[in-house]
Amino acid sequence: MQLRHDPTYFAATLSLPADRRPAMYALYGYVRGADEIADNCALNGARRAALDDWQHELQAGVERGGSDHPVIAALVDAGPRYGMPLELLPDYMDSMRADCDDRVRMRTQDQLDRYMAGTATVGPVAAPLLDAPDGAVALLRLLGVAFQLTNFIRDVPIDWQMGRVYLPGLHEDDLAERAPSARMRDHIAQQVARARELFDDSEALTGMLPSPVRPGVRVARSVYLRVLDRVEENGYDVVTRSNRLRPWEAIRASSSALVS
């Protein structure tokens, strides 16, 4: 699942000790499962109930020490084995519930920040797998927010097609007309600058982690920073220009991170 949906994180996970990779795959499988529920338009009004069921399945699995669902079973096994704070995952689920409305509009920066803080709880949950010291947990959160904000910048037109506008300040007329107006470009430029600040503020994280896991973090950072470079190269046009990296560009960004 991780390779199919997110090759960047798959590559980063490969830097973990082999015995910890299944735990990271299980964590990814759980949060990806929630994301797919929230994105499943076929469920219509049942998405919140399906998310509740997914969350309750994990809670029940933790309480009884197992589950019939392979992803939940793997995560329940990994949690106590590595000291993963699975109790933080309801915050992630709350962010997924925000995606269940037919029209999602983040009207204020506070709304966006709350959403991203929820999705960024994945970092602290994964911290024990990285042997991250206590002082690194806050930086893992920051890095998670940086990743999420970069995704939102890159995926503005895709999210719009799904009825979602995550970046407050974007005008729906510009999105509907696919018009990269000056006001839209200015707003995207501000969000890119904010994302870069988050990457800068979390830069010390890599040096705080054990040597074996540093390459994976460097790769993920490098690929996402290259996305921001692309947005800037395209003049902050996120509606008529593609800001997704071609495979060879992601490989180049990854390679440069590994030799730096």
Q: What is the pLDDT of residues 102-133, one digit of tens each?
A: 889 999 999 999 999 999 999 999 999 999 99
- Name the nearest CA neighbour of 83 among 154, 145, 20: 20
- Name the nearest CA neighbour of 153 among 90, 118, 199: 199
The verdict on pTM exceeding 0.75 is yes
Is pLDDT at 81 greater than 60 in this prediction?
A: yes
Question: What is the C-alpha separation between 105 and 115, in angstroms, rounded?
Answer: 12
- The mean of the pLDDT values for the chain is 89
Domains belonging to the chain, first-starting first, are: 2-259 (1.10.600.10)
Highest mean pLDDT (candidates 6-15, 62-71, 212-221): 62-71
Rg (CA), the chain: 18
Please tell me the least confidently modeled range out of 183-187, 206-210, 239-243: 239-243
Residue found under tokens 């994280």: 205
pLDDT at 259: 55
Is pLDDT at 195 greater than 50 in this prediction?
A: yes
pLDDT at 93: 98
pLDDT band of residue 1 (cuts 50, 70, 90) is very low
Is pLDDT at 160 greater than 90 in this prediction?
A: yes
Convert the pLDDT of each residue in 94-106 to its tens digit. 999 999 988 899 9
Question: What is the C-alpha separation between 118 and 145, in angstroms, rounded?
Answer: 9
Question: If you average pLDDT over residues 9-28, what whole number do you get?
Answer: 82
Please tell me the least confidently modeled range out of 25-39, 105-119, 245-259: 245-259
pLDDT at 248: 55
Sequence-ordered list of residues with C-beta below 8 angstroms from that of 253, at least 6 positions apart, any chain: 219, 222, 223, 225, 226, 245
Is pLDDT at 140 greater than 90 in this prediction?
A: yes
Bridge partners for 104 per DSSP: 164
Question: What is the C-alpha separation between 110 and 120, in angstroms, rounded?
Answer: 15
Question: What is the C-alpha separation between 14 and 11, in angstroms, rounded?
Answer: 5
pLDDT band of residue 59 (cuts 50, 70, 90) is very high
Is pLDDT at 3 greater than 70 in this prediction?
A: no
Convert the pLDDT of each residue in 226-240 to its tens digit. 999 999 999 999 999
